[in-house]
Amino acid sequence: MRNQLKHYINGEWTESTGSEVIEVINPATEEVMGKISSGTEEDLDKAVKAARAAFPAFSRSTKEQRIEWLEKIVQGYEARKEELIEVMTDELGAPLSVSEEVHYPMGLGHFKQAIDSLSDFSFTEERGGHTLLKESIGVSGLITPWNFPTNQLSTKIASAIAAGSPVILKPASKTPFAAIIVAEIIDEAGLPAGAFNLVNGSGSVIGNGISSHPDIDFVSFTGSGGVGETIMQKAAETKKKVALELGGKSPVVVLDDANVEEAAKTAISHITKNTGQVCSAGTRVLIPESMKEEFEQKVVEFLPNYPVGDPRKEGVATGPLVSEDQWETVQSYIEKGENEAKLLVGGAGKPEGLPTGYYAKPTFFTDVSNDSVIAQEEIFGPVSVIITYSDVEDAIEKANDTKYGLAGYVVGQDPVQLSYVASSIRAGRIVVNNAETDFNGPFGGYKESGIGREWGDFGIEEYLEVKSVHGMPTS
């Protein structure tokens, strides 16, 4: 059992002022794996005061000093690799291989990238008639979701440290333990007291408190659109800047010269990796009418190669969903889909032989209309839809016929068509033929997928204000 009933405030693990606890459930066993404190407004207030007090010195720290802190965090993160992998598997249900190959390196990648970006970053620019200064935005509140326990908090914390902005982190209460390990790593990296604070607790108390706190200058949120809307409304009261990384319903455009086997594997991996609980997952497959039948056959043939099961068991590709609520939501969408379209493979209920744990069947629907509920709403589970298109213009129109714009994927061979489709999709990140992730590539959404960008130098800019100084003395 992992218990951490303290918050990390002003450089110390500090008793909560409240007595309520939140139980954290292992989604594979449905058992309590640990407890955290349900923080209070008083706890948050202490953290904000600590961050405010840290601000003057932290915001004036040198680039070299910030790089040194980030390097120590990288070393600490690497030293705790095994523990981080195990914790993410237990709290999220990600197979050990996914924790090791996806979650662990993503968290690490942002800290390393921040060092690279910071090395080349200029906080002062001469622009003819004025000097531009980029200065810390102030105290920043970070609110993160459960689906990538270290990825989102790492990009936010790394960028904030690079910018000299003190933070208060509220991780998701379903997956707090990886965040607690990261806090321990930061503690050892020797940041000034108050520069990094972690307050555990519910979204309704700590998340809400961060959004409305008059002494917090900026809120960086990753999570659902509904909560994003609430945060914007709360933040409006104190006119603070808000960055939102929200949901998606991203298209996978399969061009008519694509290798159909590769296209089927790409589509499958989007709903099996992390059990489809990925904001940027490609869950709307757009396929030429002429390829539909062969594509469907390949999906049905290859899907058993991505087995669902105990995330600690070797060879398992797809673990459980994170919680019972999430399982219920996914089931209700599958049931809707059964009325709206044709079930190709998968379906409602638990996979055979897995009565315990929040397991769902990887599911593809076909003959799906782009305006149906399962084609328009984010399901956040292992469910994908196959939609046909007549020509490339029709594919682009369907790809963009969504309120979201987080990501898009293109599979094919002709470089002219690939570039044309990549530049025509209205989304913040496009991946052509499964290209590798570049941690310096900005991440964020068009339309209702969010406001702002994270990762690399764009991520650092979020934690900065710009000041124009006219008549700055030159010596």
Cα–Cα dist 361/61, whole Å: 51
Residues 262-281 interacting with ligand NAP (rule: CB under 6 A):
279
Which uninterrupted H or E stretch holds 345?
strand 342-345
Q: Cα torsion for 61, 154, 3, 318, to the nearest 10°?
A: -170
Please name which of 323, 320, 344, 347 lies closest in space to residue 333, comparing C-alpha atoms.
347
Q: Assign 3-state DSSP to the chain and report helix, strand, coil percentages, each to 5.
A: 45, 20, 35
Between 181 and 246, name the residue whose CB sits nearer to ligand NAP.
246
204 forms part of the interface with ligand NAP (CB under 6 A): yes
Indicate which single residue of 17, 202, 329, 440 sits in contact with ligand NAP (rule: CB under 6 A).
202
382 forms part of the interface with ligand NAP (CB under 6 A): no
Among the listed residues 245, 448, 454, 462, the single catalytic one is 245
Q: How far is the CB of 7 from ligand NAP (least distance, A)?
A: 14
Dihedral sign from CA coordinates of 143, 148, 152, 154 = positive
Q: How far is the CB of 409 from ligand NAP (least distance, A)?
A: 16
380 forms part of the interface with ligand NAP (CB under 6 A): yes
Exposed, middle or buried: residue 126 (CB in 10 Å: 0-12, 13-18, 19+)?
exposed
Both tokens of 196, joined, read 């990094």
203 forms part of the interface with ligand NAP (CB under 6 A): yes
Between 163 and 227, name the residue whose CB sits nearer to ligand NAP.
227
Catalytic residue at 261?
A: no
CB 98 within 8 A of CB 272: no
Q: How far is the CB of 385 from ligand NAP (least distance, A)?
A: 17
For residue 100, the number of C-alpha atoms closer than 13 Å in the C-beta half-sphere is: 9
DSSP at 264: H
Residues 313-372 interacting with ligand NAP (rule: CB under 6 A):
none
113 forms part of the interface with ligand NAP (CB under 6 A): no
Between 233 and 297, name the residue whose CB sits nearer to ligand NAP.
233
Q: How far is the CB of 132 from ligand NAP (least distance, A)?
A: 29
Between 44 and 264, name the residue whose CB sits nearer to ligand NAP.
44
Between 160 and 255, name the residue whose CB sits nearer to ligand NAP.
160
Q: 342 has which bridge partners?
A: 366
90 forms part of the interface with ligand NAP (CB under 6 A): no
189 forms part of the interface with ligand NAP (CB under 6 A): no
Which uninterrupted H or E stretch holds 467?
strand 464-469
CB 27 within 8 A of CB 190: no
Among the listed residues 91, 279, 448, 462, the single catalytic one is 279
Cα–Cα dist 167/130, whole Å: 30
3-state DSSP call for residue 231? helix
Total residues contacting ligand NAP by CB under 6 A comes to: 32
Cα–Cα dist 173/176, whole Å: 5
Catalytic residue at 125?
A: no
Residues 114-173 interacting with ligand NAP (rule: CB under 6 A):
143-147, 152, 170, 172-173
Please name which of 429, 465, 438 lies closest in space to residue 113, comparing C-alpha atoms.
438
- The number of beta carbons lying within 10 Å of the beta carbon of residue 472 is 12
Residues 219-238 interacting with ligand NAP (rule: CB under 6 A):
222-224, 227, 230-231
Q: How far is the CB of 111 from ligand NAP (least distance, A)?
A: 17
Residue 337: φ, ψ to 5° = -60, -35
Q: How far is the CB of 318 from ligand NAP (least distance, A)?
A: 18
Between 138 and 248, name the residue whose CB sits nearer to ligand NAP.
248
Q: How far is the CB of 87 from ligand NAP (least distance, A)?
A: 16
Active site residues: 245, 279
Sites of contact with ligand NAP (CB under 6 A): 143-147, 152, 170, 172-174, 202-204, 207-208, 211, 222-224, 227, 230-231, 245-248, 279, 378, 380, 406, 445, 450
